[in-house]
A and B are shown apart, each in its own frame.
Chain A
Amino acid sequence: MTAIGIDLGTTNSVVARYDSGGAGSSVVTVGGARSTPSVVSMRSRDGKEELLVGSPAFNWAKRDPENTILSVKRLMGRDFADEAVAEARERRSYRIVPGSDEDPRAHVVIGRTTYTPAQVSTLILERLKQGATEKLGTDVTHAVITVPAYFKEAQRAATREAGEAAGLVVKRIIDEPTAAAVAFGLEHHDGGRHRVLVYDLGGGTFDISILNTVTDADGRHHFHVLDFNGDNWLGGDDFDQLITGRITEWVRQNAGVDPSGDSEFLFHAKKAAEEAKRELSTAESTDIIIPAAYRSAGRPVDVEMTLTRAEFEEMITPLVDRTIALVRTALDRQHLAPDDISDVLLVGGSTLVPKVCEVVEDFFGSGKVRRDIDAMECVAIGAGILASTLHGVECAKCGTVNDESAKECTECRGTLVSARSVGELQIYDVTGMALGVAAVKGSQADTFVPIIPRGTPYPMSEPMRHTFQATDGRLIRVPVYEGDSGIASENQEQGVIEYELPEEIDIHSRVDVSFLFDRNRELHVTINVPGTSLVYRKKLRFDTARSQGPSKVAVEEDEATHRADLMYVEEVTRHFVRTYGQYLDPSQAMKIEGDLNRAQQTLVFSDPAECRRMTSVLEGDIFGSGLASQLYLAERAADRATPDDAHRINQAIVAVQQAFQQGRRETVLEQSQALRVMVAKVGQEYEVSAIGDSRSFDGLLKLLDEA
């Protein structure tokens, strides 16, 4: 077994290996280079299409931009409807398309073939595996692959899928800042708690992560990413661009011509800018000389200028200040001051610019800033250390150590889903965000209910469970979200589990939903109905159709329609209150009164999205207000039922009303239960909605407290 660490970067990828025999960590060159462009392209020749990966693809990017996939990492595991995908579509020349009907993920097109971003990453990982195998002279079989801390579960799953498709046993998917911390040896800190800030300024992206590192009583190291922030479109390339602009300006002023539209001039200016930036890392000034950089009126124009470090630093100050503002935001969000940070790690090639380092040191204090490991390679090096110090997974049942590729223990045949990694370096990850489900709470069908809280160490030995109430007798639908907002649709949807029940259950039955996060950070969901044999187990898939949450398309619908809908529902709600108000709890009555006032205000301003939301809120009031709603629905069901059924329902309604007026609470509960069954039966037999025109929750689960 030969294991490597892979920093699968947005622009470039790096492979590293750790030799525990004494040689230590080193970067593995691929095709002679220390980094490989994360690019896939295509060359057409003699009617044949040939895929290019890495440097050849980068070299060919301008030849065929429509078939060159750059920065595919930005698309990994994202839905086509994702904002980040829309932004990439604006900036990239290649085609980004949605998947098939049931697959919401973004895909890319090369030639006549459509690929998922994971498939593109597979091509890159295959190239890295092959290059490392050639360089090391041994078959590379296992890998630890890094991902940004902000990657959601779907993005991590896509990365793992890419690694496995490339023929690698993926030992771990690990956060980039955690890998950097390992490279800097932070797990060797003496006991206690440390708070680390990773400042990662690459060529095109800027990421900040705040980590807690804790060593527990058993000597295991826990790395917990507390928060992350950044700018997806800020990096060292912007510095180069500023110098290129300065060279262009020099030509304008000294030769009286504008070369900014000349691609050849810009090529030479950019090369000179990159070189000048490198020189200014050590020198106080640099000469930029480009003979015959531009041709004007038949005469060559030479560039011959000097750029001082002071001038360069003045140019980049606004950009560097922006990074510090983002650092401050990340700290503020965690209620931390710079003094609360024990170590600052500088990662990414652009941190080699002295001004960047100086500003970070000024902010945090120079003693804390670490840059003793190559900033461009430390993430890969950390992954390489982990790759060679993790030696399989230990069966929780019998203690046998198995290879990471094993699904079950070779000794006892027990499942290895929650098996922990074994190795010299004991590092445990914790979840960066809460994982939970969308459920119904009161009138809101978009409530996020966390099941695995943020900061939970994994792999988990036991599943975590939450109990709900069914809203549908034949279907249980569990949309899984990841995030911190109490509103599900404001979080990142990870997929949907749908359980079509083989036998009908009472719509108010209790339903348990359990989540188990395994060592591969894959989510195992179990749905069961206590008291029955109904159990449904499923591993979450990220390529399934998403739930029908609030969508932008809906928001953009016709304004007049939404306004008319709200006016109608407002009138129905007022009628509901007039007729059934006596059966409302005082708190329910107050809530509906408040909602009606808000609905009126909404009608004044006529915002379509708010009209739609208030319509939903009022519908929730009508159909979710306990006994009053039940009586309303029963009367509506009676209107549509046969005379016999209508008679029985009306009798039950009278019985409930009498019991209520006489204050016989228990009888009310019993009678209302019978009434509910009758209404459901009518709905089933005559295809009359069991809850009239109420919102269908499509199998969503309801919070017990709100039942």
Chain B
Amino acid sequence: MSSREAQRSSADPGPADGGALGEVLAGNRTATLDLVRALDAHREHTEHVLRELDRVERDLARLLSGITGALDAFDRLLAHDDADFESYRASVHRTRQLLIDVLCNNSELELIGWPGELADPETHHVAGVAEAAGLPRDAVVKVLKHGIRYRGELVYRASVIVASGEEKQQ
């Protein structure tokens, strides 16, 4: 028997192999169903990723627009070099607030680290301890670097100086 005939022989099941053929077909059917289910899951996952990408792009666009706005505000401030100190300082303060709004209101981003709040070891890195009259132990006295939480996940911790909780010795 040539090798081609041998191949044909093994590929063509005879009447006695009907049961085996049924098993093969059933196996193929199961495999196909599994494949379809996997494709569905894959499609669902891809759609989810695309939706997330879209959302991230929108967040990014809003963030960039906001930052550019704050940059423009700084330019305007610098153009007024004859302004008095207090009004200049007030404008700087408003620009800062604008940046905070941009970061926190448009992109599910939360800044961590505000004076007066109690430091939490999960989110606040204590860079120093200071005596601060009236502030309870571990309250934030000064923020050296804001932390960031994005969509509920901690991205950067805040670095802060906290109150020792002890009054300064006179």
Contact = CB atoms under 8 A, between A and B. Distances in A.
Contact of B126 (A45, A55, A61): A61
Contacts of A57: 121
B121 A62 contact: no
Contact of A267 (B119, B127, B154, B157): B127
Contacts of A45: 138
20 contacts: A32-B154, A43-B121, A45-B138, A55-B122, A56-B121, A59-B121, A59-B124, A59-B125, A60-B126, A62-B126, A63-B119, A63-B121, A63-B138, A63-B162, A263-B127, A264-B127, A264-B128, A267-B127, A267-B128, A267-B159
Contact of B129 (A55, A56, A62, A267): A62
Contact of B127 (A32, A43, A55, A62): A62
A59 B126 contact: yes
Interface in B118-170: 119, 121-129, 138, 142, 144-145, 153-154, 157, 159, 161-162
Given A32-B154, A63-B162, A58 B125 contact: yes
A271 interface: yes
A264 B161 CA distance: 9
A263 B127 CA distance: 9
Given A43-B121, A59-B122, 4 more contacts: A32-B154, A60-B121, A264-B127, A267-B128
Contacts of B145: 271
Nearest to B157: A59
Contacts of B154: 32
A69 to B, nearest CB: 15
B110 to A, nearest CB: 15
B144 A264 contact: yes
A293 to B, nearest CB: 11
Interface of A: 32, 41, 43, 45, 52, 55-63, 263-264, 267-268, 271
Contacts of B127: 62, 263-264, 267
Interface centre among A32, A45, A62, A268 (most CB of B within 10 A): A62
A163 B109 CA distance: 38
Nearest to A57: B121
Contacts of A264: 127-128, 142, 144, 161
A62 B153 contact: no
Nearest to B165: A44
Nearest to A62: B126
Given A60-B126, A63-B126, A267 B121 contact: no
Contacts of A267: 127-128, 144, 159
Interface residues of B, number: 20
8 smallest CB-CB distances across A and B, nearest first, come from A56-B121, A63-B126, A59-B125, A60-B121, A59-B121, A62-B126, A267-B127, A56-B122
B153 A32 contact: yes
Nearest to B119: A63
Nearest to B128: A263
A43 B118 CA distance: 13
B154 to A, nearest CB: 7
Given A264-B144, A271-B145, A52 B128 contact: no
B16 to A, nearest CB: 39
A58 B122 CA distance: 10
Contacts of A268: 144
A591 to B, nearest CB: 65
A47 to B, nearest CB: 12
Nearest to B153: A32
Contacts of B161: 264
Contacts of B144: 264, 267-268
A485 B137 CA distance: 54
Interface centre among A43, A52, A57, A267 (most CB of B within 10 A): A267
Nearest to B154: A32
A615 B13 CA distance: 98
Interface in B11-39: none
Contacts of B123: 59
A264 B125 CA distance: 13
Contact of A52 (B121, B138, B142, B162): B121
Contacts of A61: 126
A52 B124 CA distance: 13
A57 B122 CA distance: 9
A124 to B, nearest CB: 15
Nearest to B158: A59
Contacts of A60: 121, 126
Contacts of B162: 63
A268 B145 CA distance: 9
Contacts of A55: 122, 157
B7 to A, nearest CB: 32
A32 B123 CA distance: 13
A45 B126 CA distance: 16
A63 B125 CA distance: 9
A393 B138 CA distance: 51
Interface in B49-101: none
B99 to A, nearest CB: 14
